[in-house]
Chain A
Amino acid sequence: MTVNNMADPRRPNKIFRYKPPNTETNPTLEDPTPDYMNLLGMVFSMCGLMLKLKWCAWIAVYCSFISFANSRSSEDTKQMMSSFMLSISAVVMSYLQNPQPMSPPW
């Protein structure tokens, strides 16, 4: 039998638990995209609703989709849902008030 000269390096008594990195002390670790997109989405939704601009409302829907795609798993889905609902309602309201098709910007 060959001597196994590689001793087992595992040490069950030297286990440290996982600590998620503290993003308060080092904000560079966090990706700001979902938060920016969320904010942008809300701004465009409000513009679309108040100014009755269809293209604003559509952009808001895109922003909330992008925010969702980039969001962290630990993030609250409620906020995602609320910004999404807001953008959808902006689109719906714009078309209910003015069912005419959207004119292209060019």
Chain B
Amino acid sequence: MPHIHWESYYMEILMVTGLLAYIMNYIIGKNKNSRLAQAWFNSHRELLESNFALVGDDGTSKEATSTGKLNQENEHIYNLWCSGRVCCEGMLIQLKFLKRQDLLNVLARMMRPACDQVQVKVTLNDEDMDTFVFAVGSRKAMARLQKEMQDLCEFCGDKPKSGAKYGIPESLAILSEMGEVTDGVMDNKMVHYLTSHADKIESIHFSDQFSGPKVMQEEGQPLKLPETKKTLLFTFNVPGMGNTSPKDMDSLLPLMNMVIYSIDKVKKLRLNREGKQKADKNRSRVEDNFLKQTHTQRQEAAQTRREEKKRAEKERIMNEEDPDRQRRLEEAAQRREQKKLEKKQMKMKQIKVKAM
């Protein structure tokens, strides 16, 4: 048997070494994320269990009982659903860790550092929140959200403003539907939270018109107003810029306190008469703009629907075997057409009379 020169297979050895390194990183990375998730839950468990009747649900069990644990979406995203509290429908917490289990991502992050994030989405019932749109967060996040988010784009048209007059650091900026809302949200406690934890706050977004990011509509599709839900959305940055240890999870606890405080606060925050009028005007303005934009599309859609109906009816008449029935159906269709024409003529006459 010929002697195998293993040295000449150095590329193959390199490949296998690379794969082994990938596998090792996978195991280490996934374990780290899992430990971070567990540490977060351990430090927040007491606060959540004292505020929510249901802590942890995967939606599959028949009975609504707390699972008492996080749902694992994949090796870097964990979520927790809490429900059963006054002033809100429920709260979805997503722990969005870095993809430590993917060596490619680890290498990419050496060029572009990123941090783990915790995203909290509180969904509210109609009576839990008045009508307003507000956001505060890092300047970069505010600029981005104003472009990306449907409601911030429509209701908070002005550039993100500094909150210095309320006492919050210059690193944070505010997007608000009206001054009264900012005054209402920025009470002493809120300002204290924002100031002490400004470095960990990416964005805070309160909205009665929340529908997520702007969705690209395909051409020719009849547009429907996006469905909205009263929502409070918080995005927090975990300190450490990726070099996080389980202990760092404790530093996020005050932020969860802020979330709970915000839920109760939003319930009590009511606009005065002037503010409410302004808010209603804004909402009907947005709706009118939307209707105007889609007017032609909706007209076209209605026209196609009418033509479809007529065609279907004609086909039915053609397919009718009995000649007598066919004649009768045709006559009925003709009578309907005649009636419609007469109605239209009446309407035109009425409009003419009104115009005079």
Contact = CB atoms under 8 A, between A and B. Distances in A.
Interface residues of A, number: 30
Given A18-B57, A62-B19, A69 B85 contact: no
A65 B24 CA distance: 12
A66 B212 CA distance: 30
B101 interface: yes
B86 interface: yes
Among A13, A17, A66, A104, which residue has the most Cβ atoms of chain B within 10 A?
A: A17
A102 B86 contact: no
B85 A9 contact: yes
Given A11-B84, A15-B83, A16-B90, A65 B59 contact: no
Interface in A23-79: 26, 28, 58, 61-62, 65-66, 69-74
Contacts of B54: 12, 15
Given A12-B53, A71-B74, A26 B212 contact: yes
A9 B51 contact: yes
B8 A101 contact: yes
B225 interface: no
Nearest to B213: A28
B18 A17 contact: no
Contact of B59 (A11, A20, A72): A20
Interface in B83-98: 83-87, 89-90, 92
Interface string B4-46: 0000111110010011001100100000000000000000000
Contacts of B230: none
A85 to B, nearest CB: 15
B59 A15 contact: no
A15 to B, nearest CB: 4
B52 interface: yes
Contact of A18 (B8, B26, B53, B59): B59
Contacts of B11: 101-104
B84 A10 contact: yes
Q: Most A CB atoms within 10 A — which of B54, B72, B81, B103? A: B54
Contacts of B280: none
B20 to A, nearest CB: 11
Contacts of B12: 101-102
Contacts of B75: 69-70
Nearest to B85: A9
B59 A17 contact: yes
A88 B58 CA distance: 36
Nearest to A27: B215
A11 B75 CA distance: 33
A65 B89 contact: no
B18 A14 contact: no
Contacts of B102: 66, 69-70
B99 interface: yes
Interface in B50-71: 50-54, 57-59, 64, 71
B72 A73 contact: yes
Query: Which 9 A-B pairs have CB atoms at the shortest separation, nearest pair first?
Result: A18-B81, A18-B59, A15-B84, A18-B57, A12-B53, A102-B11, A10-B53, A101-B9, A69-B102
Given A12-B84, A17-B64, A65-B22, 18 more contacts: A9-B51, A10-B84, A13-B84, A14-B86, A14-B89, A18-B81, A18-B90, A61-B15, A66-B22, A66-B102, A69-B22, A69-B26, A69-B99, A69-B101, A72-B74, A73-B73, A102-B12, A104-B11
Interface of A: 8-20, 26, 28, 58, 61-62, 65-66, 69-74, 101-104
27 contacts: A8-B50, A9-B51, A9-B85, A9-B86, A9-B87, A10-B50, A10-B51, A10-B85, A11-B84, A12-B84, A14-B53, A14-B83, A14-B89, A16-B83, A16-B84, A26-B212, A62-B19, A66-B22, A69-B75, A70-B74, A70-B102, A72-B73, A72-B74, A73-B74, A101-B11, A102-B12, A103-B11
